[in-house]
Chain A
Amino acid sequence: MSEQLFKVTIDNITIEVPPGTTILNAARKIGGDVAPPAMCYYSKLEGSGGKCRTCLVEVSKGSEKDPRPMPKLVASCRTTVMDGMEVKNITSERVVDARAGVVEFLLLNHPLDCPICDQAGECHLQDLSYEHGKEATRYEFQRRTFTKHDLGPYIQLHMTRCILCYRCVFTADQLTKKREHGVLDRGDHSEIATLIEKSLDNDFIGNVIDVCPVGALTDKTFRFKNRVWFLKAMDAHRDCPTCSGKVTLWNRGDEVYRVTARKDQWGEVEDWICNTCRFEKKKTSDWVIEGPRLINRHSVISQGHYAGSVGTVKPTETFKAVNDGRQPRLLMDIHDISEVNQPGTFLSEIERPAHSTDFNSKKA
């Protein structure tokens, strides 16, 4: 059967794709900003997508046959293209507005505690909120809290960070023989749980950590041991009876801190890996090293990557160079120099705004 291609125009760029392609995947072919963000869709998981609503786009022309625009924004991850379709992503005000709304909703119950979150540096929600969010939240209420569930020896769940994208549920459903966790309850009290504190321990369950777009599911053998951007990502493999054994090692010096599946440019796992590879093979001698992994330049992880041997070379100090040879302490010690903090000086007793003459500078 000779396959007829469909023409689709996204943000004024036209490409041809096979029928059945979703708008999102067509946009990914073009790449760049044209590709809508996706928090719940995962090309490797059947039936995923449609839930987070971050990929909403405007269809300004339905198709050549029926050019009427679609009345509502549609989830690009679940809408297939028609021949002659015209789509607006970042060129649509409605989309930009709706997406900012979705980001705000997602952040209502997701603390931006990136400094203490294990996912920092790899978090899609962090990226999304920088690129599409607003600078402040309008939410003034207590955030959602949950009782803690222990998921066993390997995986830690931080339910307060979960955005209910269902990816881990699909993963468990589709990759493991036994599904033990899912979504309990409804609405804003729904949660990922195992109902009766079961541990998640079947062969491929570790992959739920990789698919989680935020820091809700973390690797107990790695968490808090290091920050990803201090680690060096290396492609490696081993002869594994359960999975392909193709992984990324996250090293510091010779030490293997973490093992993950390899991810493609959309942050999606290329090949699922088994628990043994992920959690138990933490010696360099367990692996055949292929070489450094290419990391997207935009990623914060790349900073460590470009520094060469991570953790051993200190970044070059540029301060002196750009400040006429002065040391930073000159600027940092203004209190000491101006005596602003002198116990005898009361700013509130000065009737006008304080001025340098009010402070007895030592230098004078």
Chain B
Amino acid sequence: MSKKLLLEKAHVEGIRYYDVYRREGGYRSVEKALKTMGPEAIVEEVKKSGLRGRGGAGFPAGMKWSFIAKPEGVPRHLVCNADESEPGTFKDRYLMEFIPHLLIEGLIVSSFALGSNDTYIYIRGEYAWIVDILEQAIEEAKQNGFLGKNILGTGFDCNIHVQRGAGAYICGEETALIESLEGKRGNPRIKPPFPAVQGLWMRPTVVNNVETLAAVVPIINIGGEEYAKIGVGRSTGTKLISACGNINKPGVYEIDMTISVEEFIYSDEYCGGIPNGKKLKACIPGGSSVPILPANLLLKTAKGETRYMNYESLGDGGFATGTMMGSGGFIVLDEDQCVVRHTLSLARFYRHESCGQCSPCREGTGWMEKILKNIEYGHGKLSDIDLLWDIQRKIEGNTICPLGDAAAWPVAAAIRHFRDEFEWHVLHPEEAQKRNYGLAHYADPIHVPVTA
């Protein structure tokens, strides 16, 4: 049984409202942090906790906080990244919807630590109803003296503003998010300068994921050291996993990162196994951008050891035999699933979401999608598989922001581990053409290949 730090109270009746949340021990961390700790002590505590950013890249949060520039007389900002657009990832939504005060509480403490008097929640436009939930929680916190001027008489002022995005995946990338918050087209900025030096309105800014900021609450409550004892190695604390695909119990689970992948998929506490007794074929364990792993490499590492649900174990061996924890969007594929089709679907997503600033991503994502479409629909050539491999290789690492990598990795991993499936499509065109998934939108005329 995993320890629960974030969702422990999520099912308490009425926890969405301040009174219940407070009665259950809410906002203690604000009192503790603002009254008994200084900003530096909070940053120290977060460092000690070993908390890694939960938005995907896994960068240590305390270290990120300590990088923030502190020029005299220049305001600083904290921005909460609630854009959550990675296919397969829906954990932040759950947290904000069911226990919104936890995020608000984390934001107040973090704003105090970073010296942000104006903090922003940039939320995915499609989460319209959650905006209302958050705004209500903010209003309640303000009514009770936890937000606004002179919080708890400590002299610290803080406002939280909620801003809706317009539904672009790229606006989850931190610098594109900042551009969008400033009212501009959501194109990623070229780094450096990093947001910690010049972020929102050119002021020092920290961007953190919803879950990261919520985790600050238990860290302050129990202390960084205690927090670091949960989990294993550099994967400390608990992690929210959104599980979907061919599993009996899709949903959001809070795990401490000591359980094995096998336990996560098959035990009744989590995914509850695969429906209809089907076999496990593959899994994308960290949201759509991370490499897919076939069953044999998913349950065991390349060295034959048990694979665990944590940063190190999932990444074991690099991309040739490992994958990434990513944002925790766990997508399971049973034996009936077609990897080529899945890869096409992902390629289609990345082509559509590329901001179009840099040539390799703008042109490469579209090209990959077209080739994958040819292969999937039985119009491919064997050389197309090598071409795909070469295209993804020329995108990866050569773009402004990691969306290029996110588009390249799924294709690379699919070819690496499931090349035979791509070949099957090419060698059995009639059978490939006969397969009908009932997905009419793929007949989109813009993408009809010329070579068909």
Contacts and interface: CB of A to CB of B under 8 A. Distances in A.
Q: Are A and B physically bound partners?
A: yes
Interface of A: 49-54, 56, 71-73, 75, 78, 97-98, 101-102, 104-106, 108-109, 138-142, 163-164, 166, 182-183, 185-190
Contacts of A105: 359-360, 362-364, 367, 394
B190 A185 contact: no
Contacts of B353: 186-187
Nearest to B186: A186
Contact of B399 (A53, A109, A140, A182): A53
Contacts of A75: 190, 400
A161 to B, nearest CB: 14
Residue among A75, A108, A140, A142 with the highest chain B CB neighbour number at 10 A: A140
Interface in B325-378: 351-367, 370
A24 to B, nearest CB: 13
Contacts of B185: 182-183
A178 to B, nearest CB: 17
Given A50-B190, A51-B359, A141-B449, A186 B364 contact: no
B301 to A, nearest CB: 23
A188 B449 contact: no
B360 A53 contact: yes
Nearest to B369: A188
Contacts of B190: 49-50, 75, 78
B451 interface: yes
A109 B449 contact: no
A102 B360 contact: yes
B6 to A, nearest CB: 33
Nearest to A143: B450
Contacts of A163: 359
Given A50-B400, A105-B364, A106-B363, A190 B394 contact: no
A109 B364 CA distance: 11
Nearest to B191: A78
Contact of A164 (B356, B366, B387, B398): B356
A187 B367 contact: no
A73 B398 CA distance: 7
A360 B394 CA distance: 56
Contacts of A50: 190, 358, 400
4 closest residue pairs by CB, A with B: A101-B394, A190-B356, A187-B354, A50-B190
A105 B365 CA distance: 10
B354 A102 contact: no
B400 A139 contact: no
A8 to B, nearest CB: 17
A105 B185 CA distance: 23
A141 B451 contact: yes
B400 A108 contact: no
Nearest to A77: B190
A64 B28 CA distance: 49
B450 A142 contact: yes
Contacts of B398: 53, 56, 72-73, 98, 101-102
Contacts of B449: 140-141
Given A164-B362, A186-B352, A186-B356, 18 more contacts: A50-B400, A51-B400, A52-B358, A52-B359, A54-B359, A56-B398, A101-B394, A101-B398, A105-B360, A106-B359, A106-B363, A141-B449, A141-B450, A185-B356, A186-B355, A188-B363, A189-B356, A190-B355
Nearest to A47: B190
A196 to B, nearest CB: 17
